[in-house]
Structure 1
Amino acid sequence: MNIVKVDVFQARLPLIEPFIISYVRLDDMPTIFTRIELDNGIVGWGEAVPDQNVTGETWHSTYDVIVHELAPLLIGKSPFQIDAIHQQWDAQILGSPSAKAALDIALYDAMGKCANLPLYELLGGRAHDTLMVPRVISIKTPQEMAEDAKRYVAEGYKHIKIKVGTDAKADIARICQVRDAIGEDAYLRVDANQGWSRTEALQVIEATQHCAVEWYEQPVKAHDYRTMRHIRESVSSAIMIDEGVQSMHDLTEVIREEAADMLNIKLMKAGGIYRALGLASLAESANMPCQVGSMVESAIATMAGAHLSMSRTIIETNEMVGPLMFTQDVAGVPFDGEQLLLTKAPGLGIEVDETYVSSITVQRACIE
């Protein structure tokens, strides 16, 4: 069961509408798919969705790192050599977490198929009864965001996340109008994506205390742990860290500084499932609840995050929202309303449409 070939696809996925957060607007989603093939014919799929403002990688650099630095190291290896493979990748190149995630996910998909088990069974078994997925609303006018939120709640969604972080006054209006639109029974999460200063963060949080926000995510710059701690000490609301944690070292510092109540784990920041498991374990030792977030990923990375979410008790929430945001995806994801369903199909549990992958690919490489 050794790897004999790695295919890499640089592609662009079409979005239903532009995705706008505090630091970027995306009219489509640049992504990279990986496909590993074993000598027994089993295939594993992975994905990278780099973010140059978060992971320090671009779409082009990630493709080049996978093709020229990481994928060649897999030829002849078993997908089950996951620890040794990560050690070799880290010795080959510093960082590049989404590039590593693309191949890591493919390795885990192949492992599940080799074992004829759904991936969550390999990661720890079923730790939750269901996976509830929110609807995410990108930055618009307060009225437009409120209208979107009201529509989603009418469709049956009870968990709404809104993107903010452009202007404190406008953000207060966004939060308040969305809460008014969704009523008291729906849950509301707020993500500033590093968009506020300390003063702005305190101003917004204090002005929206009556809005029953579940948590405020990454209010200030990624590694400004001191300011995160000050905000956390100054408000009664929960503070989640996201961009500020990529590695075990980062999380160790966050725990030491008492800078956050919660952790958002993303496979693209962590370097894949293997490293994400380490973050979840460290967070558990500090009694820090986690969620698995998304970089707006296709069905491939979405299902990887879903299996990870299902397998660990400390991972209490997830935001596997990518497939809800594309006009067409590379595979079907089994949603039932706001529930993401995991079947007993092996690996990631999806059938990738290779014809569609090829149709949206702008550059492809094969490593044998």
Structure 2
Amino acid sequence: MKLEKIELFAIELPLKVPFIVSYHRYDVMPSVIVKMTTECGLVGYGEAVADEHVTGESLESTISVIRHLLGPLLIGRNPMHLERIHDEMDRAIRDVPAAKAALDIACHDLIGKKLGQPIYELLGGRYHDAFPVTHVLSIGEPEAMAAEASEQVGEDYTAVKMKVGVDVASDVRRVAAVRQAVGPDVPIRVDVNQGWVNAAKTLQAMRKLEPFDIDWVEQPVKADDFEGMLEVKGKISVPLMIDEGVRGVADMRRLTMMQAAHKVNVKLMKCGGIYPAKKLVHMAEMSGIECQIGSMVESSIASSAGFHVAFSSKIVQSVELTGPLRFATDVGNLTYDLPFIRLNDRPGLGVDVDEDVLRRLTTDYYEVGGADHVAR
């Protein structure tokens, strides 16, 4: 089995409502869909959702690096040779994890389809039967966030994750409003996305949030401030999760050596795909650090890839892969049995990609291994 052609679709996924975090507002979600075709006619799909603030990539840079460097590198290769593929991609260019993730996911989709197995069977087999799906609240006014949380809990969501990180005073008001709206028994997770900047502001915020029984707090300080994370961890009673601070093996090694957080949010877009994500999960497990599999608000393609990692990993205790629920139109058909997600047993990713929808959402198109560029 050899790769014959790689197609790149630059798309804009329409959001039902804007998604707002501490560092950006998204009205649509830019994404790069990769379609790989082998000499024997098998087709696999991957996805890259780049984020300048987290992965250091943009949609344009992702297309360029796949089109001119990584794509040509993979043409003629066997997608099953994942260790070699990742080694050669890493030798060709540092970082660019979302670009590498798109190719990695498509390779896994091809392998699963070739062997007639879902991807989770290739990663150690299914361990979990289902995961509860947490509703994610983007940043808004306290009253609006409270109303949305109450509505979603009424629709049987079992937990709420709040995006905060504007300033301590207004963030405390947001959490207080949501806690009052959902009652004392619904878990509330608080994701700061680095917005409190340092340990001092974080400790100030956490003292004020003590009455509201937070389930955990995520990445309150700057991504590379492991010392700040460690200080916060030692002075609060709430579990601490690191996200943007862990991108690859070097960051995970630093985390495990310092024990700077109780939990880690592993994302395929940050680390380069399914294959490296599984390595990070194993590293965390050996150090007793609990894992979550998260996302950059991805379509059914990359969301499904993340679920395969989660379902095959004992140490993964939560998931946050809700992109398909946020889109007015999606390119795939990943289905949720709300408030849970359960994977099917179809080969590869287990999702169908609607080529008509994909083309309708496409703003630019490229080929590697065929005709080079067709702009739309």
- Tell me the TM-score normalised to structure 2 length: 0.97
Kept in 1: contact 2:147–2:181 (CA 8 A): yes
SS at match of 1:90: helix
Q: Deviations over 1:93-123 (max 9, x none)?
A: 1110000001000000111101101111111
Alignment partners' CA distance in 1, 2:91 and 2:322? 33
Alignment partners' CA distance in 2, 1:193 and 1:126? 31
Alignment partners' CA distance in 1, 2:341 and 2:59? 28
> For the aligned residues, what is the CA RMSD?
0.8
Give the structure 1 partner of residue 329 of structure 2. Answer: 328
Alignment partners' CA distance in 2, 1:2 and 1:213? 50
Alignment partners' CA distance in 1, 2:279 and 2:88? 17
Letter in 2 for 1:55: T
Letter in 2 for 1:237: V
Alignment partners' CA distance in 1, 2:56 and 2:304? 24
Give the structure 2 partner of residue 161 of structure 1. Answer: 161
Q: Deviations over 1:132-168 (max 9, x none)?
A: 2111010001111000000000011011101000010
Deviation at residue 184 of structure 1 after TM alignment: 2.1
Kept in 2: contact 1:158–1:185 (CA 8 A): no
Q: Deviations over 1:164-200 (max 9, x none)?
A: 0001001011111111111122211110000003222
SS at match of 1:28: strand
Q: Deviations over 1:255-296 (max 9, x none)?
A: 222211100000000000111011001000100000000100
Identity %: 44
Give the structure 2 partner of residue 251 of structure 1. Answer: 252
Alignment partners' CA distance in 2, 1:328 and 1:57? 24
Give the structure 1 partner of residue 87 of structure 2. Answer: 87
Kept in 1: contact 2:8–2:33 (CA 8 A): yes
Alignment partners' CA distance in 2, 1:221 and 1:269? 16
| Structure 1 residues 1-368: aligned runs within 5 Å | 1-196=1-196, 197-368=198-369
Kept in 2: contact 1:32–1:47 (CA 8 A): yes
Letter in 2 for 1:293: G
Letter in 2 for 1:111: I
Letter in 1 for 2:144: E
Kept in 1: contact 2:126–2:311 (CA 8 A): yes
Deviation at residue 340 of structure 1 after TM alignment: 1.2
Letter in 1 for 2:173: A
Letter in 2 for 1:39: E
Deviation at residue 131 of structure 1 after TM alignment: 1.7
Moved over 6 A (4+): none
Alignment partners' CA distance in 1, 2:83 and 2:166? 41
Q: Deviations over 1:236-269 (max 9, x none)?
A: 1100000000011111111222211100000000
Unpaired runs of 5+ in structure 1? none
Alignment partners' CA distance in 2, 1:337 and 1:276? 26
SS at match of 2:324: helix
Q: Which moved more, 1:220-229 or 1:179-188?
A: 179-188
Give the structure 1 partner of residue 372 of structure 2. Answer: none
Kept in 1: contact 2:129–2:342 (CA 8 A): no
Unpaired runs of 5+ in structure 2? 370-376
Q: Which moved more, 1:127-136 or 1:141-150?
A: 127-136
- Tell me the TM-score normalised to structure 1 length: 0.99
Kept in 2: contact 1:139–1:164 (CA 8 A): yes
Letter in 1 for 2:35: R
SS at match of 2:260: coil
Alignment partners' CA distance in 2, 1:304 and 1:362? 24
Kept in 1: contact 2:133–2:158 (CA 8 A): no
